A and B are shown apart, each in its own frame.
Chain A
Amino acid sequence: MPIITIREALNQAIREELARDERVFLMGEEVAEYDGAYKVTKGLLKEFGPKRVIDSPITELGFAGLGVGAAMVGLRPIIEFMTFNFSILATDQIINSAAKMLYMSGGQFNIPIVFRGPSGSAFQVSSQHSQAIESWYAHFPGLKVVMPSTAADAKGLLKSAIRDDDPVIFMEQERMYGNKGEVPDDPDFTIPLGVADVKREGTDVTIVARSLMVPVALKAADKLQEQGVSCEVIDPRTIRPLDIDTIIDSVKKTNRVVLAEESHPICGINAEISTQIMERAFDHLDAPVKRVSGIDVPMPYAKNLENLVVPDVDRLIAAVKEVAYLD
């Protein structure tokens, strides 16, 4: 299988879906002539032309709403936010229009749209450009929220998201675009939404990690293995709907669980997963559920401070040892 970057995998997914379905178009800031602020959309303007690949003004609320309206009349927009930080300007259209249209129209108007772009912590861009806001979107019925961690997942899940008939929030990770992995080049390769993936099998402790935390968890698992602790790493991949069964099955096997995320802890996804574990697997737990989240502060600029915010291998190892009652 070819080994490519997450950036290239996303590009392939968009290219293949643009080629597959005339109703699909891509709109966002700098997606066309500039080839994308992060080069995810490189070459697409040249291949598909300005009707299908459209540079928008800096007008997030406007073009997010335009996408929803276009979806109401049969198109399948891919709306790129240069980063999800800027989607905050568009939340009215995402939450009040896209998420609720099917329901409040009594089933008449579904919204097949993908809102995608990088999310999570970047490198030294301070508070407004470096935050993980998946729990906002995951809160709302009507939306689906996807967060891939590998190149293959990025491609397979994005293709499924574009083919899906509902609004999908597709959150890439700014720090991970250059990460490489094997990706099938079959144009029919897709990965279904709502299915977690066991990234590493283990027997002693379950680590649930998504997006940027998956490679961190895998590294921690490697190091812990050397110390005789076997970790199972589960990547939900889709946050809403959440494949909680796979997590519960793992917890029933290991009886210990650490939840990793880079977002703030309060009302976060880890808080939700923790509650569901408590509701469904309380009697299987040999230790309290342990959360490892981004530190509860706005992201600072200084490198040494920024390093303290995002969970790293050492914090995960410490958490695993805590639930395993080691040290």
Chain B
Amino acid sequence: MSKQTAEPISAAGAEEKSSTSVLDASEPDQKTLGRERNEAKERQKSRLAAMDRDTLLNIYHQMLLIRRFEEKSAEVYVAGKIGGFCHLYIGQEAVAVGALSALRKDDYVITSYREHGHAIAKGMSPESVMAELYGKATGCSKGKGGSMHMFDKEVNFLGGHGIVGGQIPLATGTAFGSKYLGTDQVTLCFFGEAAVNQGAFHESLNMAQLWKLPVIYICENNRYGMGTSLERAMSLQNVAQKGDAYDMASEFVDGMDVLAVREATMRAVERGRKDYLPTLLEIRTYRFMGHSMSDPGNYRTRAEIEKYQERDPINLFVASLKEEKIVDDKALKRIDEEVKQQVENAVKFAEESPYPAPEELYTDIYANPIDPSKNKAR
């Protein structure tokens, strides 16, 4: 294969290509909205058959956990319990959960500063994530990283990174490491569409395809870089197409359909694991909340937000599951209760945990600290 195109755009992929209108920003009318929502649901239902019930319920559980976790984060942020920036993931849950459901536990995940959802989906405990938001010693980064810098070596979660696009070369490096060491671990690298305008994105894709590195670049296209829309910032707005510039396989994916995300990621993971090949996925999604908690949101209309809320990935998934009689209200209620308990536990844990000791200020700067005043080796 001279050109590394994505596996021919399976039937499902082709459908999505033709139905992308729902994910553009035009003002919708109710009739169109309803029709498009039903079409999306039918596509999702066609994917359900291939999956076992436990996996489906777990996907629902994780999406709901992230949603409720983020709602709680917003609540405690407003109450002054969380400092700094706080970028919520509400609306984008299907991306992290769908993509990470296609991974092995030892695969690497690295992402931006909007990472609470990825952290939880990678298997980090809500307790350690919430405690980090609180800046407590029990947080996943011992209270030194905060909302934007969560890490967990145990589950190969390589961090939230705060400079737009900064994690993309790092992911290229972890994939380089996998190939160098001869493992079959792949790296999933998440970033927003605004990061695509950074040089780091282009430099990384070039190297990854040149050297055939097992990395999957996942562009979560939520249409806005802070308050600047895609249209105001990007000359070529089809992000997936940018893979062509590097001869890299790429796919466009409906980010409101958790199973579409999962399937596309599985195809990319296989390409990485078997053949050390990279993939660029453009996953169209939408954040229902502001860029951060301090965002007044005057760059978009209420109607636009409501349009995307019609396609809420969790509601869509619940509707699909119920219509296919995979779950009933009782099973859903049980999961809702579990999630509620998990979030309450996370907050309780964070509240009751101690702040880092003052001595912690000076630890973790160097792995091999050198104190010249004690070095009498001359």
For A245, the chain B residues whose CB sits under 8 A away are 372-373
The reply to whether A65 and B200 contact each other, CB–CB distance below 8 Å, is yes
Q: Does A241 contact B (CB under 8 A)?
A: yes
The reply to whether B151 and A109 contact each other, CB–CB distance below 8 Å, is yes
CA A55 – CA B365 in complex, angstroms?
A: 31
CA A106 – CA B142 in complex, angstroms?
A: 5
Q: Contacts A106-B143, A108-B151, A164-B368; is A70 near B176 (CB within 8 Å)?
A: yes
Q: Contacts A105-B145, A110-B367; is A61 near B203 (CB within 8 Å)?
A: yes
For B145, the chain A residues whose CB sits under 8 A away are 104-106
The reply to whether A194 and B180 contact each other, CB–CB distance below 8 Å, is no
Q: Does A184 contact B (CB under 8 A)?
A: no
For A110, the chain B residues whose CB sits under 8 A away are 367
Q: Closest A-chain residue to B361, C-beta based?
A: A103
User: What's the minimum C-beta distance from B131 to chain A, rounded to whole angstroms?
Assistant: 11
Q: Contacts A51-B180, A166-B368; is A195 near B375 (CB within 8 Å)?
A: yes
Q: Closest B-chain residue to A192, C-beta based?
A: B377
Contact of B170 (CB < 8 Å), options: A59, A69, A238: A69
CA A270 – CA B218 in complex, angstroms?
A: 46
CA A105 – CA B363 in complex, angstroms?
A: 11
**Residue in A56, A70, A93 with the greatest tally of chain B CB atoms within 10 Å:** A70
**Interface bracket on A:** 35 or more
Q: Closest B-chain residue to A56, C-beta based?
A: B207
Q: Does A182 contact B (CB under 8 A)?
A: no
For A70, the chain B residues whose CB sits under 8 A away are 173-174, 176-177, 180
Q: Does B152 contact A (CB under 8 A)?
A: yes
Q: Does A66 contact B (CB under 8 A)?
A: yes
For B180, the chain A residues whose CB sits under 8 A away are 25, 51, 70, 75
CA A64 – CA B176 in complex, angstroms?
A: 13
Q: Does B181 contact A (CB under 8 A)?
A: yes
User: What's the minimum C-beta distance from A18 to chain B, rounded to whole angstroms?
Assistant: 13
Q: Which of B56-64, B153-161, B275-283 contacts A (4 or more CB under 8 A)?
A: B153-161
User: What's the minimum C-beta distance from B375 to chain A, rounded to whole angstroms?
Assistant: 5
Mask for A193-211, Cβ within 8 A of B = 1, else 0?
1111100000000000000
Q: Closest B-chain residue to A164, C-beta based?
A: B368
Q: Closest A-chain residue to B199, C-beta based?
A: A61
Q: Does A229 contact B (CB under 8 A)?
A: no
User: What's the minimum C-beta distance from A5 to chain B, rounded to whole angstroms?
Assistant: 25
- Please name the 9 residue pairs, one residue from A and one from B, whose CB atoms are nearest each other, closest first: A69-B173, A65-B169, A62-B203, A106-B142, A110-B367, A105-B151, A73-B177, A165-B367, A69-B170
The reply to whether B142 and A107 contact each other, CB–CB distance below 8 Å, is yes
The reply to whether B174 and A106 contact each other, CB–CB distance below 8 Å, is no
Q: Does A268 contact B (CB under 8 A)?
A: no
**Residue in A107, A241, A244 with the greatest tally of chain B CB atoms within 10 Å:** A107
For A294, the chain B residues whose CB sits under 8 A away are none
The reply to whether A69 and B172 contact each other, CB–CB distance below 8 Å, is yes
For A317, the chain B residues whose CB sits under 8 A away are none
Q: Does B166 contact A (CB under 8 A)?
A: yes
Q: Contacts A62-B207, A65-B200; is A105 near B174 (CB within 8 Å)?
A: no
The reply to whether B365 and A141 contact each other, CB–CB distance below 8 Å, is yes
Q: Closest A-chain residue to B160, C-beta based?
A: A104
Q: Contacts A69-B171, A71-B173; is A105 near B159 (CB within 8 Å)?
A: yes
Q: Closest B-chain residue to A245, C-beta based?
A: B373
Q: Does A142 contact B (CB under 8 A)?
A: yes
Q: Does B29 contact A (CB under 8 A)?
A: no
The reply to whether A165 and B144 contact each other, CB–CB distance below 8 Å, is no
For A109, the chain B residues whose CB sits under 8 A away are 151, 153, 158-159
The reply to whether B203 and A59 contact each other, CB–CB distance below 8 Å, is yes
The reply to whether A97 and B206 contact each other, CB–CB distance below 8 Å, is no
Q: Does B162 contact A (CB under 8 A)?
A: yes
User: What's the minimum C-beta distance from A262 to chain B, rounded to whole angstroms?
Assistant: 23
Q: Does B3 contact A (CB under 8 A)?
A: no
Contact of B372 (CB < 8 Å), options: A93, A142, A197, A243: A243
The reply to whether A65 and B365 contact each other, CB–CB distance below 8 Å, is no
The reply to whether B161 and A105 contact each other, CB–CB distance below 8 Å, is no
Contact of A72 (CB < 8 Å), options: B139, B143, B173, B371: B173
Q: Closest A-chain residue to B150, C-beta based?
A: A105
User: What's the minimum C-beta distance from B55 to chain A, rounded to whole angstroms?
Assistant: 28
Contact of A65 (CB < 8 Å), options: B177, B204, B367, B368: B204
Q: Closest A-chain residue to B365, C-beta based?
A: A141
The reply to whether B139 and A194 contact each other, CB–CB distance below 8 Å, is no
Q: Closest A-chain residue to B203, C-beta based?
A: A62
Q: Does A28 contact B (CB under 8 A)?
A: no
The reply to whether A67 and B173 contact each other, CB–CB distance below 8 Å, is yes
The reply to whether A57 and B372 contact each other, CB–CB distance below 8 Å, is no
Mask for B348-378, Cβ within 8 A of A = 1, else 0?
0000000000000001111110111101011
Q: Closest A-chain residue to B170, C-beta based?
A: A69
**Residue in A106, A112, A245 with the greatest tally of chain B CB atoms within 10 Å:** A106
The reply to whether B173 and A68 contact each other, CB–CB distance below 8 Å, is yes
Q: Closest B-chain residue to A66, C-beta based?
A: B173
The reply to whether B166 and A65 contact each other, CB–CB distance below 8 Å, is yes
Q: Does A313 contact B (CB under 8 A)?
A: no
The reply to whether A102 and B365 contact each other, CB–CB distance below 8 Å, is yes
**Residue in A75, A112, A165 with the greatest tally of chain B CB atoms within 10 Å:** A75
User: What's the minimum C-beta distance from B153 to chain A, rounded to whole angstroms?
Assistant: 4
**What 17 additional pairs, Cβ within 8 angstroms, besides A51-B180, A142-B365?**
A57-B206, A59-B203, A61-B169, A61-B199, A62-B203, A64-B169, A65-B172, A66-B204, A69-B175, A70-B174, A72-B170, A72-B174, A73-B181, A74-B181, A110-B367, A193-B370, A195-B372
For chain A, residues 241 to 255, give those with C-beta under 8 angstroms from any C-beta of chain B.
241-246
Q: Closest A-chain residue to B205, C-beta based?
A: A62
